Copies of this chain bind each other. A is one copy, B any other.
Amino acid sequence: MGEGREFDRIRRILATLGDIAEGAGDDVAVIPEGDGNLVTSVDSTVAGVHFRTDWLSAEEVGWRATAAALSDLAASGAAPVGMLLAWTIPAATSDLELEAMARGVGALARAAHAPVLGGNLTGGELLSLTITVFGRTRRLVTRRGARVGEAIYVTGTFGGARVALTSWQQGSTPSPAARVAFARPYPRLAAGQWLVARGATAMIDVSDGLGGDAGHLAAASGVGLEIDLARVPVHPAVHGRGVRGELAASVFAALGGEDYELLLTAPEGAIDPAHAEPAAGVSLTRIGTVVAGGGARFLLDGRPVALEGFVHG
């Protein structure tokens, strides 16, 4: 776990719960069954914290909440089994908005083969959607398994969602490509399963920025991650939006946030990145090497570049 008020509060809750919560703290919870594992995870999307209704359509809010929840399954290598939806709906929310949100959830549920198994609905002053996801995997991968000497990879590209966020915060309208990156992330479920089958040893989904989540994986595995900043794949929208120069674009992308791509480690040579796109529908890029020590270091021409994590609520 990293730094910041939310993490402090989680630590405080876990310390209070003591031994009754000794299995908690990972990205997914594991319920062993027969010859496999049922994995489950919960994620909340809250109005004013994770989205603003003047930025996203109700349908996009539903899609994005579902993508964020399923992304944790993707990072464990699990195939989806289903979801539970817990809605808090203010009295002022119209039925049309509610239906549009449900359409967004349903579209991704259908695409990801993650049926809605049940849920809960309550009134409340603040719109929120808490999604519990379930999946199954024979071999469970967590953020803890990285070993010194292994290769580091990422799926997809980084920084697109941050471009959209920056545009909105500056009062302008993001480009369609940047908007899609923020509003319609696609959880890397097929890629997660493909990567685990090919020997991925540690994996995490990148929601706090590559800088932040690389640090989380390094800390959990007790290793260091050396990442070549020049190799971080940059979303095309980053170049279009006032970010000038390759270094600036790479730093912007690595700071990222809300990318919902996968960061993983695997033994040298176990995975051929060229096979990822045809087999799992997303590009895979080698960005560094696991080293002894701790923390994530971003290098440019072999020299460390300072990054700050991207913090959200």
Q: A residues engaging B (CB < 8 A)? A: 5-6, 9-10, 12-13, 16-18, 20-26, 28-31, 33-34, 38, 40-44, 46, 48-50, 81-82, 84-89, 95, 98-99, 102-103, 105-106, 109-110, 115-126, 128, 130, 132, 134, 313
Contacts and interface: CB of A to CB of B under 8 A. Distances in A.
Contacts of A42: 84-86, 118-120, 130, 132
13 contacts: A13-B119, A17-B105, A20-B115, A21-B116, A29-B118, A40-B118, A41-B120, A42-B86, A43-B86, A46-B88, A50-B122, A120-B130, A128-B128
Contacts of A24: 116-119
A1 to B, nearest CB: 11
Given A21-B115, A24-B116, A41-B118, 18 more contacts: A9-B87, A12-B98, A13-B99, A13-B102, A16-B99, A16-B102, A17-B105, A23-B82, A23-B116, A31-B117, A31-B134, A33-B33, A42-B85, A42-B86, A42-B118, A44-B124, A46-B122, A130-B130
Contacts of A49: 122-124
A115 B88 CA distance: 25
Given A16-B106, A29-B82, A9 B95 contact: yes
Given A33-B33, A122-B46, A17 B109 contact: yes
A105 B18 CA distance: 11
B124 A31 contact: no
Nearest to A30: B117
Given A16-B102, A84-B42, A313 B124 contact: yes
Residue of A18, A20, A84 contacting most chain B CB atoms (<10 Å): A20
A25 B95 CA distance: 19
Contact of A29 (B21, B28, B34, B117): B117
A143 to B, nearest CB: 13
Contacts of A12: 95, 98-99, 102
Given A17-B106, A24-B118, A118-B28, A86 B38 contact: no
